[in-house]
């Protein structure tokens, strides 16, 4: 075999190996890579289409969410966001500090009972304070946004040292909480509501009091005063070296000036002597 033929054969074999390797690389590797990349492109295209659909619907969905959030915020009642008794205690402190007189109370957590869609935190509250402050406290518990139910209320007269209007009390309370949180807690406020139409009259307050309140304002006392002058619309009372001018409706100690009779030179006062109504008429001393 000549040298030229041998080289030709070697070149042909080399070319055949190169072509076969290229064809095998293309067939068995590159086609698989192309298929895999095409599948990934399809997945990314589907994901892109899905995100584009969400983006197109975002404005409408956000408006619906904000509307639903406003509906929830404006509900008369709402559930606690968790079964933590600290949340109930914080709520009670919030309404107790919401203006006016405050009561003094102890909070005792009993248990937490789960239900199908909600749970109940059981607790008991006891303490003392002014009767009207207690009524305001209970009023706010019942009418505010968070859902609480009060039961087994006991109210008794308080200590004499704390005043005639002081009472001691105890009651149980059921506080309802949600098991599935639908809205972010930071977006929901708790409204404190009080029904102003409810009476705060204290049925335990004695109608006839054992002692009269002190005359802290230094008002004139009709029982120890005398009229030194009178006109159609004013009387002049003297007491303890001072003269006080009064017109109808002006206050005196334990009452007020109800009428002036210039013809008979008298003035009539209506007094409340610790629950006893009394009318006193003074006349000018001649």
pLDDT tens digits, residue range 211-268?
778 888 889 999 889 998 899 899 999 988 899 999 999 999 999 999 999 989 999 9
Question: What pLDDT, on a 0 to 100 scale, did the predictor assign at position 69?
Answer: 62
Whole-number Å distance between alpha carbons of 142 and 175: 11
pLDDT at 286 over 70: no
pTM for the full model? 0.53
| Position 187 pLDDT exceeds 80 | no
Instruction: List CB contacts of 173: < 8 A, sequence separation 6 or more.
Output: 88, 122, 123, 124, 125, 141, 148, 149, 150, 151
How far does the chain reach from its first CA to its final CA, in angstroms? Answer: 170
The torsion angles phi and psi of 215, rounded to 5 degrees, stand at -85, 70
CA distance 160 to 162: 5
Cβ distance 159 to 166 under 8 Å? yes
**How far is the C-alpha of 154 from the C-alpha of 26, rounded, in Å?**
91
Residue 3's pLDDT band (boundaries 50, 70, 90)? low
Tokens representing 204 are 């335990």
Retrieve residue 183's tokens.
Answer: 């809205």
Angle formed at CA 227 by CA 224 and CA 232, multiple of 5 degrees? 140
120 Cβ contact list (under 8 Å, min separation 6):
112, 113, 174, 175, 176, 177
Whole-number Å distance between alpha carbons of 22 and 28: 10
Residue 207 reports pLDDT greater than 70: no
DSSP secondary structure code for residue 82 in this structure:
S
Spatial separation of the C-alpha atoms in residues 68 and 235, rounded to whole Å: 67
pLDDT of 31 higher than 60? yes
Rounded Cα gap, residues 228 and 284, in angstroms: 6
> In sequence order, what E strands does 212-262 have?
226-230, 235-239, 242-246, 251-252, 255-261
pLDDT band at 188 (very low <50, low <70, confident <90, very high): very low
- Per-residue pLDDT, averaged over 27-53, amounts to 78
């Amino acid at each position: 075999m000549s040298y030229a033929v041998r080289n030709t054969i070697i070149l042909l074999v080399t070319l055949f190996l190169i072509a076969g390797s290229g064809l095998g690389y293309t067939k068995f590797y590159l086609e698989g890579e192309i298929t895999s990349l095409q599948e990934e492109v399809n997945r990314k295209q589907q994901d892109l289409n899905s995100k584009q659909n969400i983006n197109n619907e975002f404005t409408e969905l956000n408006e619906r969410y904000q509307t639903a959030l406003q509906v929830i915020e404006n509900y008369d009642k709402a559930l606690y966001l968790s079964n933590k008794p600290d949340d109930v205690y914080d709520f009670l402190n919030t309404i107790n500090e919401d203006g006016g007189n405050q009561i003094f109370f102890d909070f005792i957590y009993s248990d937490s009972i789960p239900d199908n869609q909600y749970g109940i935190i059981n607790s008991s509250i006891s303490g003392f304070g002014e009767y009207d402050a207690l009524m305001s406290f209970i009023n706010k518990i019942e009418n505010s946004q968070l859902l609480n139910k009060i039961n087994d209320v006991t109210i008794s007269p308080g200590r004499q040292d704390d005043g005639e209007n002081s009472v001691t009390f105890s009651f149980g309370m059921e506080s309802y909480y949600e098991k599935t949180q639908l809205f972010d807690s930071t977006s929901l406020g708790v409204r404190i509501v009080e029904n102003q139409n409810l009476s705060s009259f204290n049925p335990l307050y004695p109608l006839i009091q054992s002692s009269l309140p002190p005359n802290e304002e230094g008002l004139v006392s009709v029982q120890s005063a005398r009229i030194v002058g009178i006109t159609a619309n004013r009387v002049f009372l003297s007491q303890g070296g001072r003269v006080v001018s009064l017109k109808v409706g002006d206050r005196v100690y334990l009452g007020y000036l109800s009428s002036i009779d210039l013809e008979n030179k008298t003035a009539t006062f209506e007094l409340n002597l610790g629950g006893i109504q009394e009318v006193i008429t003074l006349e000018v001393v001649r």
